[in-house]
Each structure stands twice: as structure tokens, then as C-alpha cells.
Structure 1
Amino acid sequence: MKALTANRLSDGEVVFWKAGQWVERFADAELFGDEDTALEAEGQAKNQPTVVVDAYLIDLVEGEGIWAPVSYRERIRALGPTNHPQHGKQAEGGAAIAALQQASGAARSTGRVNLIKRK
């Protein structure tokens, strides 16, 4: 399973793809089980150079019935700043935030590795 992420140019906010538009919460992100659909969405996202920067697919892992990014970096991006639990998206709480905080996995997502290799 994969999700599509990027940073919004207007304010630097981490955003996630959902049905042709960007949402701020990972819990609202569209999840792709089909590689072709995921690559098509990534292509659409990359055609928005004045809206977002560095759109790429991230790998997900299922834990306790909720999907979370495999890589630690992507979990941090989905939670917001880690300087204090009362800052960022993590301050909202809920099952989706708890799943992100408890998830574990690899150091890097293949989407991010591919993005690094292209630069």
C-alpha cells in the first residue's frame, strides 16, 4: 500500500493526496493498493509545480487496523514537529495519531530513495 505526499509551496505544510487534491492530515490521504493508480496520481501531482514541491509515493504498513508510513521520517512528517507533543498534528490525538506514533518500520521509504537518486 502507498500514499502520495509533498510539501505545499505556500506555507511548507506536509500534504497528502486525496482524490485529485491535497489534504493536510495523513488519516485523510488516499491509499493506493494498485501501482498503476499510484503512479498516475504521482504524475498528476508532479504537474502542479506551483502548488507543491517534491511529490513522491511513500510505503505504508498496517498496524492495529490502521495504515502508517513505513519510514520513520515519513511518520515524523505526518505527525508534525517533534519538539513538543502539544505542537503540530500530533496534538490532535485520536486513533490515527496513536497509530503513527506506535508504528515501526524501515529507515527509508522507496519513494523517497527514488527521489534522492533522481536529484
Structure 2
Amino acid sequence: MKALTANRLSDGEVVFWKDGTWVERLSEAQVFSDEAGAGEAEASARTQRTVVIDPYLIDLVDSAGFWAPVSYRERIRALGPTNHELHGKQAEGGGAVEALRQAHGAARSSGRVNLIRRK
């Protein structure tokens, strides 16, 4: 399973794709089970350069009945700032936030591996 994420240009907020628009919560994001649908959404999102920057797909795993990113980095992005539990999206609490906190996975999502340049 995959989701599409980016950063909104106007304020830098982490956003997620949902049926042609951008939402701020991973729990509201559209989840793709097939590569074709995910690729189509990513291509469509890349045409909205004035709205977001660098949209890319992330891998998801099931965590307590919610979807959570495999990558630790992406879980941090989905929770907002992690300097304190009362800051960012994590301050809202709820099942989706707890699922993100308890999720386990790889250090890196396969969606970003192709962006890393090795010397």
C-alpha cells in the first residue's frame, strides 16, 4: 500500500493526496493498492507545482487498524514536530496518532530510495 505526500509551498505543511486535492492528515489520505493508480496520482500531483513541492509515494503498513508509513522519517513528517507531545498534529491525539507512534518499519521507504545519490 502507498500514499502520496508532499510539502505545501505556502506554509511548508506536510500534506497527503486525496482524490485530486491535498489534505493535512495521513488518516484522510487516499491509499493506493496498485502501482498504476499510485503512479497516475503522482503524475497528476506533479502538475500542481504552484501548490506543492516534490510529491512522492511512500510505503504504508497496517498499524492498529490505521495506515502508517514504513519509514521512520515519514512517520515523523505525519506527526508534525516531535519536540513535544503537545505540538503539531500529534497534539490532536486519537487512534490515528497512536497508530503512527506505535508503527514499526524500515529506516527508509522504497519510494525515496531512487532519489538518493551514492558516490
TM-score (norm 1): 0.95
Contact 2:63 2:100 in 1 (8 A): no
Instruction: State the partner residue of 1:21.
Output: 21
Aligned residue number for residue 69 of structure 1: 69
Partners of 2:35 and 2:74 in 1: how far apart? 19
Which stretches in structure 1 are left out of the alignment for 5+ residues?
Answer: none
Mapped partners of 1:116, 1:53: distance in 2: 17
Alignment of 1:22-41 (within 5 A): 22-41=22-41
Q: Please give the alpha-carbon distance, in whole angstroms, between the structure 1 residues aligned to 2:115 and 2:48.
A: 17
Provide the rounded CA distance (Å) in 1 between the counterparts of 2:70 and 2:44: 23
Q: Helix, strand or coil for the counterpart of 2:114?
A: helix
- The aligned residue for residue 93 of structure 1 is 93
Query: For residue 7 of structure 2, what is the aligned residue in structure 1?
Result: 7
Bigger proportion of residues as helix = 1
Question: Contact 2:60–2:70 (CA<8 Å) still a contact in 1?
Answer: yes
Secondary structure in 2 matching 1:115: coil
Alpha carbon RMSD of aligned pairs, Å?
Answer: 0.8
Q: Give the match for residue 110 of structure 1.
A: 110
How many residues of Structure 1 are paired with residues of Structure 2 in the alignment? Answer: 117
Match of 1:59 in 2: 59
Runs of 4+ deviating beyond 3 Å: none
Question: What is the alpha-carbon distance in structure 1 between the residues aligned to residue 113 and residue 53 of structure 2?
Answer: 16
Contact 2:16 2:23 in 1 (8 A): yes
TM-score by length of structure 2 reads 0.95
